[in-house]
Amino acid sequence: MEEGEDAVELALARLEASERPAKKIRLLKRDIVPLLLQIPDRSERGAVVKWVAKEADGLNGEIVQDAIREVEGRLIVETHETPEEDIPEEEWAELLKPGVLDRYVSDAFKIKSVVGEGDRNVVKLLVCDAVEAQLEPLPTGKPIGGPIMLTGDSGRGKNYLSDAAVCGLPEEWYLSFEAASATAFYYAAEIDPAFLKHKFIYPNEAEAVDTVVEFLRPMFSQAKAKKFVTNKNSEGSHVFQEIQVEGPITGVVPTTRNTLNKELQTRMLVCELPNYDNRIKEHTAALSRQFSPDFVADPHGHMVPKWRAALASLTGVRKVVIPFGNHEMFRLENEEIGHGARLWGNLLGLMCAHAWLEQRNREVREVRDGTRAVVATAADYRAAYELLESVAARSIVNLGDTHRKIVKAVYELRQDAEFKDDGFSSKQIADHAGISKGTVSKNRTFLVMSAGLLYETDDKRLNIYEDADPSWWESGDAMSGFPRPSEVDRWDTPPPDPGNGGNAETLGQNRLLMRRNPFPAMETPRKRWKRFPRTATIRWQTTRKPKPPRGHGRAARGYSNTIPTSPRTSGTSRRTSGNGC
């Protein structure tokens, strides 16, 4: 703070030497504002801003604050990206073979020296969320997927895991920031309206989000934001101006909190970092190894440019379609989840991101609007389902394992207590639950005020309601109402064989081999199935309308739904639905 003030005093002396107002403003933005932004504490920064405005002739608090917002906006836009190396495709093509997500996360763990298999699925979730920003929004303009709230204790590694997730992504795909105001983002948009387009953003702490909530909500929900302001034109008159920011964006908010802004949080997947066995031992051993004389810094750094080249090659196609998306049971059926529609959208976002990463191993189809799209499969749904179930189930019911331990401990203590209404101290609860007293203190407000499972007695002890039932906090089946992956497997329609081998070709090459219509039940009566052996392509056959036989019914009207039997079918199997169920 003192060093910052000394530098500001020197810069202020240079500013005082200038007599022209325009030059003073330029010196303010060039020399003083960057120093003000280095003061981490916002209250201290506010005090210095007030002092600068008072000491400098011709300035006031509004002018200084405007200058700060303009500089913040310029710094956000002016990202210093390292020029990408021109790497031949044969050096990175292997990275895009089946299993892209698993391969990327394994390499990210090596590049960033991440230890602990317990965090592998967390990084997978973050990678998929970052990839969602690269996808084309839905026809309604809504973005695919949504952001993530990454919660955990201090020192748990939230920011480090976020850094690991983006370490192999092209630098223009993500933006990290420590603090900014909503106005700063709009100033940046005035310079470049598309500066956030297809970006994954992550602040270092939730406090950096508090000041930009009103900006992020429309960006996450509508893939765009706009603001109406009044500015001075070249003649000095005030004019009405509209500033628009283009998306889509996704992001992660690392935080120690249990809740964020309610409207913002319901748009997010909530991922809690668990404390797995031997975590401290593994983390401290990894730190100790860096002091070894045999330690080699960044031995896997050569993988970064290869991954960036490989992933950048996928952006020629940004659309993903789900062939069984019109199946009547492909939906969330749990009416007890108030934010179920947003949660289902987040799950489909993870599914589409996984399919997009695997696009060289998926069918790439030209859809009705003339664009090319990656065709997702049931395997992509399974991958998204397992990620949501394993590390983001708190998005469904906002209770983590630590919360359940605390509530269960209070419940059991009350069952054994002689005076049940007296409540229990944090130490009693911590000892019974096998956690620290500080963990109980940290979570008590959430369990009392937000979750409503516990209450405080008059002497500030914790207690549970007399009619409490364990079903209130027990996890049960968190995925109740979601289609099971085994069900979705039956709805999926495999791509035609030999078909298109994925997005391996340069755009414009190779015609796609596809069925003319994947839903034969919707065709005209003159077209019917002819099934060839499994190794052949499923084709349409147009036939002349046969002469109506004697009799009545469908045969008399000249068409039939009968499918010829094949080595894999018997009897008179009938295709009754275009989505394979």
Tens of pLDDT, residues 210-235? 778 888 888 988 888 888 777 666 66
Q: Taking CA 91 as the corner, what is the angle to CA 85 and CA 97, rounded to the nearest 5 degrees?
A: 120
DSSP per-residue string spanning 219-283: HHHHSEEEEEEEEE-TTS-EEEEEEEEE--EEEEEEES-S---HHHHTTSEEEE----TTHHHHH
CA dist., res. 254 & res. 444, Å (int): 20
Question: Mean pLDDT, to the nearest integer, of 526-547?
Answer: 41
72 three-class SS: helix
Give the per-residue pLDDT at 103.
97
Q: What does the pLDDT look like over 167-182, one tens digit per residue?
A: 999 999 998 877 666 6
In 3D space, the residue among 463, 386, 374, 373 whose CA is nearest the CA of residue 417 turns out to be: 463
CA dist., res. 71 & res. 129, Å (int): 29
The structure tokens listed for 435 are: 């956690």
Question: Mean pLDDT, to the nearest integer, of 507-526?
Answer: 39
Residue 23 has pLDDT above 90, yes or no: no
Residue 56 has pLDDT above 70, yes or no: yes
How far, in Å, are 254, 466, 560 from residue 417 at the CA level? Answer: 39, 12, 75
CA dist., res. 93 & res. 307, Å (int): 10
Per cent of the chain over pLDDT 70 is 75
Residue 527 has pLDDT above 80, yes or no: no
CB 37 within 8 A of CB 71: yes
The number of helices, as runs of H, and strands, as runs of E, in the chain is 20, 14
Give the per-residue pLDDT at 515.
38
Confidence band, pLDDT 50/70/90 cuts, at residue 538: very low
Domains of the chain from N-terminus onward: 2-77 (no CATH), 89-289+301-395 (3.40.50.300), 401-472 (1.10.10.10), 517-581 (no CATH)
Confidence band, pLDDT 50/70/90 cuts, at residue 74: low
Cis bond leading into 248, ω under 30°?
yes
Q: What does the pLDDT look like over 321-363, one tens digit per residue?
A: 999 999 999 999 988 888 899 999 999 999 999 999 999 999 9
CA dist., res. 438 & res. 347, Å (int): 34
Q: What is the 3-state secondary structure (H, E, C) of 476-491?
A: CCCCCCCCCHHHHHHH
Beta bridge partner(s), residue 366: 372
Which of these ranges, 269-278, 327-336, 365-374, 405-414, has the smallest mean pLDDT? 269-278
Q: Which residue has the higher pLDDT, 92 or 182?
A: 92
CA dist., res. 305 & res. 490, Å (int): 40
Confidence band, pLDDT 50/70/90 cuts, at residue 78: low
CB 289 within 8 A of CB 173: no
Q: Which residue has the higher pLDDT, 503 or 150?
A: 150
Residue 9 has pLDDT above 60, yes or no: yes
CA dist., res. 483 & res. 579, Å (int): 15
Q: Taking CA 168 as the corner, what is the angle to CA 162 and CA 173, rounded to the nearest 5 degrees?
A: 75
Q: Which residue has the higher pLDDT, 414 or 17?
A: 414
**pLDDT averaged over every residue in the chain:** 79
Residue 544 has pLDDT above 50, yes or no: no
The structure tokens listed for 103 are: 């391969």
Question: Mean pLDDT, to the nearest integer, of 475-501?
Answer: 77
Q: How many C-beta neighbours within 10 Å does residue 360 have?
A: 21
CA dist., res. 350 & res. 190, Å (int): 32
Which of these ranges, 64-73, 253-262, 285-294, has the smallest mean pLDDT? 64-73
Give the per-residue pLDDT at 279.
86
Q: How many C-beta neighbours within 10 Å does residue 302 have?
A: 9
Residue 548 has pLDDT above 50, yes or no: no
- Which residue reads 């289609």 in tokens? 483
Residue 529 has pLDDT above 60, yes or no: no
Question: Mean pLDDT, to the nearest integer, of 298-314?
Answer: 91
Which of these ranges, 50-54, 310-314, 406-410, 502-506, has the smallest mean pLDDT? 502-506
Counting every residue written for the chain, the total comes to 581
CB 132 within 8 A of CB 124: no
The structure tokens listed for 404 are: 């359940």
Those residues whose C-beta lies under 8 Å from the C-beta of residue 514, and which sit 6 or more positions away, are 363, 365, 366, 495, 496, 499, 500
Angle, helices 100-111 vs 303-312, to 10°: value is: 150
CB 493 within 8 A of CB 362: no
φ/ψ of 472, rounded to 5, equals -65, -30
Those residues whose C-beta lies under 8 Å from the C-beta of residue 49, and which sit 6 or more positions away, are 36, 61, 64, 65, 68
Which of these ranges, 124-128, 376-380, 458-462, has the smallest mean pLDDT? 458-462
The structure tokens listed for 269 are: 């997947």
- Which residue reads 């010829």 in tokens? 564
Sheet arrangement for strand 364-366: 319-321, 372-375, 364-366
Residue 565 has pLDDT above 50, yes or no: no
Residue 500 has pLDDT above 70, yes or no: no
Q: How many C-beta neighbours within 10 Å does residue 515 have?
A: 16
Question: DSSP 3-state helix, strand, coil percentages of the chain (rounded to 5)?
Answer: 45, 10, 45
Residue 510 has pLDDT above 70, yes or no: no
**Strand 148-151 relative to strand 269-272, pairing:** parallel
Give the per-residue pLDDT at 274.
78
Q: What does the pLDDT look like over 268-282, one tens digit per residue?
A: 999 988 777 888 898
Give the per-residue pLDDT at 502.
56
Q: What does the pLDDT look like over 95-152, one tens digit per residue?
A: 999 999 999 999 999 999 898 888 999 999 999 999 999 999 999 989 999 999 999 8
For the four alpha carbons of 281, 283, 288 and 289, in that order, the dihedral sign comes to: positive
Q: What does the pLDDT look like over 120-129, one tens digit per residue?
A: 999 999 999 9
Which of these ranges, 3-7, 203-207, 329-333, 522-526, has the smallest mean pLDDT? 522-526
Give the per-residue pLDDT at 83.
60
CB 475 within 8 A of CB 438: no
CB 219 within 8 A of CB 226: no
Per cent of the chain over pLDDT 90 is 35
CB 28 within 8 A of CB 19: no
Give the per-residue pLDDT at 487.
93
φ/ψ of 241, rounded to 5, equals -135, 140
Which of these ranges, 70-74, 105-109, 281-285, has the smallest mean pLDDT? 70-74
Confidence band, pLDDT 50/70/90 cuts, at residue 576: very low
The structure tokens listed for 564 are: 């010829």
Residue 262 has pLDDT above 90, yes or no: no
Q: What is the 3-state secondary structure (H, E, C) of 365-431?
A: EECCCCCEEEECCHHHHHHHHHHHHHHCHHHCCCCCHHHHHHHHHHHHHHHHCCCHHHCECHHHHHH
Give the per-residue pLDDT at 394.
86
